[in-house]
């Protein structure tokens, strides 16, 4: 029993260390300057926006926003050109978690999502007309979300 407890402590410590290191890297990345120079989207995004994760090939195609209800859903390539919609979210304009920039927060902590997705919080800022830069955070430690990656959205 003591071994299991000790192993859990070691795993938890490793997760925290990796999260802090990744956040430190992301906060010093070239995209960070662009992010803090952006503004909360005005007007709020509405409709389908194409998504991209720089330097990575992903099945995620983008996000579909409903500005009137402050909700949305992610769009994926489910294979053979078939589009699927999964992982709904709610949106809210607020201060960013690390840098105080006013952002559009995209929160996955809603009952429709699986438990493993609920700690995810995206933030986006507008960097050009119909172009947005986003950050993906995971909330493991209350009050200190880890930043994992940047993503782009465009009309």
Cα 64 from Cα 44, distance rounded (Å)? 12
Encode the chain (155 residues) as per-residue pLDDT tens digits: 777 767 777 666 676 677 676 777 778 778 888 888 888 998 999 999 999 998 888 899 999 999 999 999 999 998 887 889 999 999 999 988 777 889 999 999 999 999 999 999 999 999 999 999 999 999 987 778 888 889 999 98
Domain count, the chain: 1
Full domain range(s) for residue 70: 2-154
Side-chain half-sphere of 48: how many Cα atoms within 13 Å?
9
Give the CATH number of the domain where residue 101 resides.
2.40.160
CB atoms within 10 A of CB 131: 14
pTM of the entire predicted model: 0.85
């Amino acid at each position: 029993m003591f071994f299991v407890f000790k192993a859990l402590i070691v795993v938890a410590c490793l997760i925290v260390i990796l999260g802090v290191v990744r956040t430190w890297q992301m906060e010093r990345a070239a995209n960070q300057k662009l992010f803090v120079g952006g503004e909360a989207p005005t007007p709020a995004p509405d409709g389908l926006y194409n998504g991209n994760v720089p330097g990575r090939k992903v099945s995620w195609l983008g996000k579909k926003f409903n500005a009137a209800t402050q909700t949305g859903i992610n769009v994926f390539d489910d294979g053979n050109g078939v589009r699927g919609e999964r992982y709904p979210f709610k949106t809210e304009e607020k201060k960013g978690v690390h840098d105080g920039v006013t952002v559009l927060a995209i929160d996955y902590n809603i009952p429709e999502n699986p438990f493993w997705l609920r700690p995810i919080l995206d933030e986006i800022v507008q960097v050009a007309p119909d172009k947005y830069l986003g950050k993906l955070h995971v909330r493991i430690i209350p009050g200190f979300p880890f930043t994992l990656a940047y993503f782009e959205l465009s009309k």
